[in-house]
Amino acid sequence: MELMGKSSILVINGSLQRRIHGLIGSFFKSATLKSQITAEMERYVMESMGRWREDSPIYIQDEAKNAKRKMVKIIDGIIQEKRGCNEGVTKDVVDALLNDKNEQLTDELIAENMVDLMIPGEDSVPLLMSLAIKYLSDCPAALTQLTEENIKLKKHKEKLKEPFSWNDYGSSLPFTQTVITETLRMGNIITGVMRKAMKDVEIKGHLIPKGWCVFAYFRSVHLDDKLYDFPYQFNPWRWQDKEINNGNFTPFGGGQRLCPGLDLARLETSIFLHHFVTQFRWEAEDDSIVNFPTVRMKRRMPVWIKRRRYS
Ligand code: HEM
């Protein structure tokens, strides 16, 4: 509680939580943010990857965090700029909270909630990226299909001379999405959530008395062999034509506390994977507890060189 602060959305309940959740959630759905974030994220991923040297080891977790740190810095810069000349227009999350008339949205509350928004960016999203690389390194068939899908879209975009949009990184890369979904299932980045019963509740014949705390353990559901065949096997194909919005798949929680950053997390991971697999091949080193996965990079040949060589 001390770490998060008393006004954090993770701590407060009731109408104020719903209000902040709604404001943050609708802000993350805004078209302006989507195009801005897509372009910025692409630029920083490409800048970071541009510094990678042939055949040198790359610590994926550190790299993923570095890309995120820069992202947080940009967002922070945008916030500082807006704070001075707030014109009632909602261009960022601080505006979304500042412009709301609710008196309970104090400066302290806004500041604390901005920190909440940065923690997943520093922690959960880099973990999702790192685990995706780990699982792909162990599953060559998935890596091949993912690479082919991304190279195909890249060539198509180059032909049209069009920049990538938010949707390109989502619906235009369906297999990439299944890889992210399967990584979320197996990785269990958030292992579960705590809830306190506000009144006596009965669930499937079990009574949870008022005041008791319950830990809803996502991992036991995501790795249940009654729900998922061979649950410990990384199998992105299991998600083809399968509905993901159900009670058996809750990496982002659910209900009124459903993670408002879920689309952003998927987008950032998609951009990272796209640039990773279209620019490089790699060999994974043995995993170690200290830092995994570590991979040795080889730059991909530009498409035109390959064509000349094989024609
Ligand atoms: C892989 C990445 C992520 C995962 C697995 C994840 C997972 C979750 C989960 C399980 C919850 C529900 C917590 C609960 O019910 O007590 C949650 C809530 C939340 N997430 Fe995420 N998250 C991710 C990324 C993000 C991002 C990128 C942001 C924002 C930039 C974000 C912002 C939030 C906020 C503000 C809440 C609290 C919502 C509320 O209590 O009303 N998350 N997240």
Ligand 1 centroid–CA 265 distance in Å is 9
Q: Are 131 and 292 in contact (CB under 8 A)?
A: no
Ligand 1 centroid–CA 258 distance in Å is 7
Query: Is residue 218 in contact with ligand 1, taking CB distance under 6 Å?
Result: no
Query: Is residue 193 in contact with ligand 1, taking CB distance under 6 Å?
Result: yes
Ligand 1 centroid–CA 299 distance in Å is 35
User: Rounded CA gap, 201 and 210, in Å?
Assistant: 7
pLDDT, one tens digit for every residue, the chain (311 residues) = 444 456 667 777 888 888 888 888 877 777 777 787 788 888 888 888 888 888 778 887 777 766 655 555 555 555 556 666 656 677 667 777 777 777 777 766 666 666 667 667 678 898 999 999 999 999 999 999 999 999 999 999 999 888 888 888 888 999 999 999 999 999 999 999 988 999 999 988 999 999 999 999 999 999 999 999 999 999 999 999 888 888 899 999 998 889 988 988 999 999 999 999 999 888 888 776 666 677 777 777 665 555 454 43
Which residues on adjacent β-strands are paired with residue 206? 203
CA distances, 69 to each of 20, 50, 119, 294 (Å): 24, 17, 10, 20
Q: Report ipTM for this prediction.
A: 0.98
- Whether CATH 1.10.630.10 fits 14-310: yes
Q: What is the DSSP letter of 289?
A: S
Query: Is residue 126 in contact with ligand 1, taking CB distance under 6 Å?
Result: no
The beta-carbon contacts of 199-205 under 8 Å, at least 24 apart in sequence, are none
Residue-range domain boundaries for the chain: 14-310
SS (H, E, C) 50-109: HCCCCCCEEEHHHHHHHHHHHHHHHHHHHHHHHHHCCCCCCCCHHHHHHCCCCCCCCHHH
Query: Is residue 259 in contact with ligand 1, taking CB distance under 6 Å?
Result: yes
User: Rounded CA gap, 196 and 215, in Å?
Assistant: 9
pTM over 0.95: no
Query: Is residue 21 in contact with ligand 1, taking CB distance under 6 Å?
Result: yes
Ligand 1 centroid–CA 95 distance in Å is 20
